[in-house]
Structure 1
């Protein structure tokens, strides 16, 4: 069957329009988490990150797993809690843990254990190994093991004197020693469990180290292929876990890890506020069980946080600690307001890696700064500094806002660095891929840094604050709630969940954009300037009263909140710091019914097809010293699938190659034209050419290849594109495919009923997408619909992320087709985007030109549905128009620029023009962007620009510059440009004059650009 030979493009058209509502410029960045590691609940606006699916490949594809990380603080809490728990010591850095964790998960799930708590003795997941005698912080491990796991020495004898089996530190000259648990170390724990004598504590009920202390295994491919070893290990895991009935295993909730942990820490520091003791005279409870939303928090380790910051997703993150009075003051409000906004996950990181806990001492947790990495010149301060400098690049803090910003200084590998210093609690929304409206990276979407007490300096947030009664009154609750409301109003890079509701007609104002509630958004018509953005009411479900058309909608600039830099009274007033507006997404409101003013435009004849040539190659001379070599392919159509497969006979290919060589030998260019006959039902056509013949054409000639798929379109590949296809690694035949499809119903709601085309090239089974500097010119038959304006027909390209990009393409009335060029193949949509301005009537001479530019977003007018056609055009404005017309992006701030480029809308464009040699200025590194342009200056600047871009029109007419009565008025510097544009038909003049000294208006510039673009 033919269908078995058809090559299928590697794209899924039904997903095409999913990204139209969420266009975003996500660039390549750090590592990508497993797709299963980042999820989003439909009921929650934030992402959920699964550390284990990300960090352990063996768990990435598991339906579920039983593991939960615990921080040092959590582990102490676990050890001090009643119940029976399964615990695993190990980390993602450990090859052995990586090898075994999947088997542990499998056995645990089969047995019925729902949770295994995982603690990593490397507090940063990499280097800070507290289970190492050489580490200055080893006492945190030794004291923990000796206090909570006293019976290890009887069931896990590592006291053979081998230093590798021990961890020790010196206390006043006396060594303190504990067994070194080798990862992965799995054990069952119950703090109240006793030995057989019924008296001696034996909290470790059963344990398993790796595959057993006596086994030495290499964890390579041979291990994973050895079912005997694996089965043996799984049996050992089963033996450990089965020491306790599955129904007797316990789990702790966020009440124990967060809610009660905060209460107990606060009461231990301030016993007179404890409502549970007789002399508690000031009753203060931070969290009330079953009432407050402490379940929203998830403690994360340093390694967990770093991996999370590297993944795509929308996260809310809190830096703080149960030891911190300011976190104690804020955290209940942070949690409960999150619940009101539907937020079900806040990741909670403590910059004290042990939360200030020292189990061998009675030190006040707030006073133990030994592992506070947010400390100047701490030996581990690089952990904090690298985190902030690498991932939180647009951070805003009170310290940073001060006249003399406070920073964290640290040394890494002998080099000194600094990082912005934040104060805890520091709550922020984060998306690593976010860029602001100017295209600058902005991963932090908003923050709150409100401290109620900051002891020790005149710049304290509240020097008069007395800890205790006023635990939530240091600023005031209203200020905190205002800050939370602002923060929680933006939790994603670009707005999602938006939908368009059609307007009833193209003249009514009853269209809507839904999905805006609780989001700080602003919107405008796509053709309006950025100054036209207007705020959406976040208390409503939709923006209403909208006419049909294209809109841009984005998160508006909004404040973050932090403490004031200087002290001034009480209650204190938080400082607002502004976060820039986000990038916009496109929403198209269609019209259910089109109300037509002019009568329907009748369509002309169907485009003519090349003359048929039976079993032979014919040569037809064409303009420009080119020979057209025409041949007809043999084709067959499967009527049931609508797929046409075409091939070329060997003798035809041989003849084409021979004639192309002859033409080039005679000094001519050669274009090989292949006609593929299709059927009425054909929606996909494929021409297949043997690779050997294809390679001979590309190797021995510079011919172009043009394929006409009757009724579907024509594809012309230049020599460079053919060369890119020929050099593909595969040796299979070359298949060039055109397929016509339709938009999904969702897509039609957004763009209307628009045709979709998919262009594909295969070499064997390898799909070739890019032509490596080559080009394909595409012509698609298109019949204007009633009321459609030719200049408003545009072409969209579907990029790799599923977003739509407008490319240079246009409707050609003479052939009734839509034509465009492309350096790669993809999916393309013939769109329609008519943009009207109140001051551009259809009868105006410049109407088509303005409509053409506006439809493609090259110009957005001057605001308020106006274009201001008679307004003079400045040099800066023209550069912006020119670069937009040719798809050239502006340079970022700080790029080399003209001395008078300033800091305004054209600044980045001038830098780009200077970099590309498009604009050379007027001398002394100046461009005079605010200076108006004469017509001849416009022609000269445009000519030099197009020459630099290699975009000068190649078409020639019989027009001559001396046919204009004022040709002598053209200055010498403009002669070359004016002559070239007259001869190519770009300049037609008016009433036999060129008016070279006249001031360029916006209408003039639009017409000239339209003339140039429509010829390319």
Structure 2
């Protein structure tokens, strides 16, 4: 048997791969179950923002300003680190601080960022109007602080209303210390037991501080620093360190704030049950909540996954009224984490006051024209794009006005707290495919009163209003919200009927999920709502399941004299998935019958024709060679012909057929081969069916043209499709890191078929994001026959945790990572994801080594270059037939290619004017023409169009069709109800447009 030619040409320096040969095996049919699990994502902030931490089991925990005060007023010894991800010194040191703390036996290391937004709001800066939050904190609690800076020369200060200047020592991050409020030295209070400030004051200090001059790790520096850290921790016995719980940070914090700030409603004996208690410790409803800082919130909102988030605070009477119920019903729905963000960055804590009330409004960023209202505005406009609120429903809508990052006046919808919502940034509506990251929300303003709580179950409003009215509505709202916690249904399992004649198959995993289902291929009008733990009474076949449309709820909640129901806000149905109920594969038992007298023969009735499943499916078991680790699954000719016959029937009914092979028994293998008999494969190629292969660690979907191309090969023998897992050599790892490698191949007999003519194969390879990886920087490399690596157009799909791409040929593919940063593209910028995505694929580069220049206007020539690169259009080096102003520069061959393909027609007189800035309407016109040529125009499902924008009348006639398409598809969304068609496009805007188009699966 000869070796496959395609695998002989792999570059040995890059890939260590075993040569795979087609083999012979056997087949069988069976079904497998999918384990159930919570859909919610647990976000690890430290792994996300500290690349060098490299410890999934670290002991670090973020704390808010309110949490820090709670610690400072609590009994015990606490390990605390002041510092943030913005600090190069903290980036360098945090790994070793964590290592030493764990080795010493400390369970929790609390991290407080003195930049309350994780970026620029530095309260340890005297020039900040909010410096008093730092000064008062230090002077109240850290009375024996010692820092590297001379307080007589450099400190932090502010001027009181009376004119007195108050100062405190200025610490520098990272500042590690042990705190015990009762600690004394020689009879004097000394709450800081030990401390260690940034250990290097050289301005050249960066996160590579621990490297030697040659670039490797300087172990002496590391060991010396770790010894200093250990010296700090060892001042207290490891067993004597204290860790606070959700009770201290959430439960007791809410209770104490309520009792201390509303004494008239809460007598001193409130804990004995004679007053109002928000959280009962025994019930534990507080335990689902976790405070997050502003920077942590933005990282969560920018990440892939399913989250439940609450905006509110212990100071807020309405949050006080609702939060116990929010926690109670979360627990009933097995929700173990709700991220709680306070729109007051300091929770309103006023340390200068003797009782530290929470009524200070200075850093309430959800306030009109606030210095830092852009923090709130950026969250709403960048992430919560489908938000609805009670304020936005008023006429006119109530909004927050602020200055954005560019200093322009902007507005954001004003929400009320508590605002509770489920979130997935990748979610789209199943009906119109519009972005819809908020999956549902509750915004109901209840309150606590001196008599009782108007949200209590037994509260009687009087005036004929039904007792318990508000509580009942809140419960309905919470039940609705918690019925959808994910974008797409997961953990659904098809269970076969118990006999070939029964229709008692089912789909399990539907408990507490607001789903609906239909037979695959049926009209959307046939969707049926799901209730209970399973969808039952199903015949074998494929069913389409999705989250159904449901309501979120917002105020108003009460009206004098009569009840009024909260406003119900509709959330569209979600994207759908197909779930297979397998056919019965056993033997139907027979039961002895007793002869009975014959009965008259009934008139024959017309059999009821069952809907024809467009999918013909076969589960094939494989055999694994113990010596080679290779799994082989072989389909018999009869089985394959049955699938072909089914596909032919489907196509005759006017629908598209799909033939699906699911391979089992190959989990332990390094290579999986599916072999199809050539005679029946020839018949399969005569259909227009799509062919899908699911091998566990990879899936392939061939279109009809690729199947026909494989069949047309001159090689003889059965057809074998192989998916093999491999790895990089040590040399390859030095270049690309330890990245997954897959070899994909098709054989006719023992001869490799490397290309599919004009056909395509869609490939899905499983991949779990590594610590700190940005999913937009996950890319796919193709290894050419010459051993070169070429970027393939593809994306990471968070919902399926896989990398997906399409290809017209098979060879070897590396799942790579190429994260590119620019100094002028900040985290949280609306174009950050787009720039990351394009730069990772080398579609765009910076204007300098570390500058992207997002607001620089794009020229027409630059646009053509980016467009052709983005869509992988091969450039024709023959530039003879070019525009007269094509020149001899970087864009010359791109212009010639665009002209040849009909993408660019010029501005007249065979000119293109490549150095002229391109207007937004010209950009979309050229883009429309290009995608029309490529057959990749986006689908238009939105009901909104040009007419919905205030400046639609400014769109030139030649651009109207293009802009209409991109508005309806959601590619073009405008700003402040303006399209600005005649304005020049910027690099940021172009990046965002291409990102929206290319990242569509």
- What TM-score results when the alignment is normalised by the length of structure 2? 0.58
Aligned to 2:320: 328
Aligned to 1:100: 93
Aligned partners of 1:150 and 1:202 also within 8 Å:
yes
* Residue of 198, 206, 210 corresponding to 1:223: 210
Aligned partners of 1:355 and 1:365 also within 8 Å:
no
Aligned to 1:181: 171
What is the deviation of 1:683? Answer: 6.6
- Three-state SS of the structure 2 residue aligned to 1:268 is helix
- Three-state SS of the structure 1 residue aligned to 2:518 is strand
Aligned to 1:121: 114
Structure 2 matches for 1:630-779, cutoff 5 A?
675-676=714-715, 709-710=748-749, 762-765=784-787
Aligned partners of 1:315 and 1:346 also within 8 Å:
yes
CA deviations over 1:318-376 (Å, ceiling 9, x no partner): 00000111111111111111111100000000000111111002588453211101111
* Residue of 60, 78, 82 corresponding to 1:67: 60
- Three-state SS of the structure 2 residue aligned to 1:487 is helix
What is the deviation of 1:173? Answer: 1.8
Aligned to 2:504: 510
- Three-state SS of the structure 2 residue aligned to 1:47 is coil
Aligned to 2:492: 498
Aligned partners of 1:398 and 1:565 also within 8 Å:
no
Q: Classify 1:314/1:85 alpha carbon distance in 2 versus 1 (closer, same or farther; 3 Å).
A: same
- Three-state SS of the structure 2 residue aligned to 1:261 is helix
Q: Classify 1:742/1:138 alpha carbon distance in 2 versus 1 (closer, same or farther; 3 Å).
A: closer
Q: Classify 1:894/1:21 alpha carbon distance in 2 versus 1 (closer, same or farther; 3 Å).
A: farther
Whether 2:426 is the aligned partner of 1:446: answer no
Distance in 1 between residues matched to 2:412 and 2:764, nearest whole Å: 53
- Three-state SS of the structure 1 residue aligned to 2:522 is coil
Aligned partners of 2:747 and 2:753 also within 8 Å:
yes
Q: CA RMSD in A?
A: 4.8
Q: Classify 1:276/1:604 alpha carbon distance in 2 versus 1 (closer, same or farther; 3 Å).
A: closer
- Three-state SS of the structure 1 residue aligned to 2:210 is helix
Aligned to 1:52: 46
Aligned partners of 2:193 and 2:235 also within 8 Å:
yes
Aligned to 1:248: 240
- Three-state SS of the structure 2 residue aligned to 1:96 is helix
Distance in 2 between residues matched to 1:221 and 1:483, nearest whole Å: 51
Structure 2 matches for 1:258-273, cutoff 5 A?
258-273=250-265
Aligned to 1:780: none
* Residue of 401, 406, 422 corresponding to 2:393: 401
Distance in 2 between residues matched to 1:115 and 1:195, nearest whole Å: 25
What is the deviation of 1:279? Answer: 12
Distance in 2 between residues matched to 1:68 and 1:740, nearest whole Å: 39
- Three-state SS of the structure 1 residue aligned to 2:259 is helix
Aligned partners of 2:503 and 2:539 also within 8 Å:
yes
Distance in 2 between residues matched to 1:771 and 1:149, nearest whole Å: 55
Aligned partners of 1:132 and 1:168 also within 8 Å:
no
Aligned to 1:162: 153
Whether 2:152 is the aligned partner of 1:140: answer no
What is the deviation of 1:587? Answer: 1.1
- Three-state SS of the structure 2 residue aligned to 1:383 is helix
- Three-state SS of the structure 2 residue aligned to 1:369 is coil
Distance in 2 between residues matched to 1:409 and 1:489, nearest whole Å: 34
- Three-state SS of the structure 1 residue aligned to 2:542 is strand
Aligned to 2:425: 432
What is the deviation of 1:168? Answer: 4.0
Aligned partners of 2:59 and 2:98 also within 8 Å:
yes
Aligned partners of 1:675 and 1:707 also within 8 Å:
no
- What TM-score results when the alignment is normalised by the length of structure 1? 0.58
Aligned to 1:209: 197
Q: Classify 1:364/1:189 alpha carbon distance in 2 versus 1 (closer, same or farther; 3 Å).
A: closer
Q: Which has the higher contact order (CA 8 A, sep 6+)?
A: 2
CA deviations over 1:975-1009 (Å, ceiling 9, x no partner): xxxxxxxxxxxxxxxxxxxxxxxxxxxxxxxxxxx
Larger Rg: 1
CA deviations over 1:909-954 (Å, ceiling 9, x no partner): x9899969xxxxxxxxxxxxxxxxxxxxxxxxxxxxxxxxxxxxxx
Whether 2:527 is the aligned partner of 1:533: answer yes
Distance in 2 between residues matched to 1:800 and 1:122, nearest whole Å: 31
Q: Classify 1:605/1:279 alpha carbon distance in 2 versus 1 (closer, same or farther; 3 Å).
A: closer
- Three-state SS of the structure 2 residue aligned to 1:763 is coil
Q: Classify 1:262/1:235 alpha carbon distance in 2 versus 1 (closer, same or farther; 3 Å).
A: same
Aligned partners of 2:477 and 2:553 also within 8 Å:
yes
Aligned to 1:77: 70
Structure 1 residues not aligned, in runs of 5+? 12-16, 23-40, 454-461, 608-639, 645-670, 687-705, 725-737, 744-758, 773-796, 808-820, 828-882, 900-909, 917-1016
Q: Classify 1:802/1:217 alpha carbon distance in 2 versus 1 (closer, same or farther; 3 Å).
A: closer
What is the deviation of 1:251? Answer: 1.0
What is the deviation of 1:210? Answer: 1.0
Aligned partners of 1:149 and 1:204 also within 8 Å:
yes
Q: Classify 1:415/1:824 alpha carbon distance in 2 versus 1 (closer, same or farther; 3 Å).
A: farther
Distance in 1 between residues matched to 2:390 and 2:135, nearest whole Å: 39
Distance in 2 between residues matched to 1:477 and 1:378, nearest whole Å: 34
What is the deviation of 1:762? Answer: 4.3
- Three-state SS of the structure 1 residue aligned to 2:127 is coil
CA deviations over 1:541-571 (Å, ceiling 9, x no partner): 2111112222110000011111138845455
What is the deviation of 1:172? Answer: 2.2
What is the deviation of 1:709? Answer: 2.4
What is the deviation of 1:805? Answer: 14
Q: Classify 1:407/1:569 alpha carbon distance in 2 versus 1 (closer, same or farther; 3 Å).
A: farther
* Residue of 170, 181, 188 corresponding to 1:191: 181
Aligned to 2:918: none
Aligned partners of 2:558 and 2:564 also within 8 Å:
no
Aligned partners of 1:168 and 1:178 also within 8 Å:
no
- Three-state SS of the structure 2 residue aligned to 1:332 is helix
Aligned partners of 2:672 and 2:723 also within 8 Å:
no
Structure 2 matches for 1:549-568, cutoff 5 A?
549-564=541-556, 567=559
* Residue of 356, 360, 370 corresponding to 1:378: 370
* Residue of 340, 348, 354 corresponding to 2:340: 348
Q: Classify 1:890/1:9 alpha carbon distance in 2 versus 1 (closer, same or farther; 3 Å).
A: farther
* Residue of 352, 360, 368 corresponding to 2:352: 360
Aligned to 2:905: none
What is the deviation of 1:167? Answer: 4.1
Distance in 2 between residues matched to 1:433 and 1:364, nearest whole Å: 41
What is the deviation of 1:409? Answer: 1.0
Q: Classify 1:768/1:236 alpha carbon distance in 2 versus 1 (closer, same or farther; 3 Å).
A: closer
CA deviations over 1:864-883 (Å, ceiling 9, x no partner): xxxxxxxxxxxxxxxxxxx9
Aligned partners of 2:546 and 2:574 also within 8 Å:
yes
Aligned partners of 2:765 and 2:803 also within 8 Å:
no
Aligned to 2:162: 172
Aligned partners of 1:292 and 1:332 also within 8 Å:
no
Distance in 2 between residues matched to 1:376 and 1:145, nearest whole Å: 30
What is the deviation of 1:159? Answer: 3.9
Give the number of aligned pairs. 656
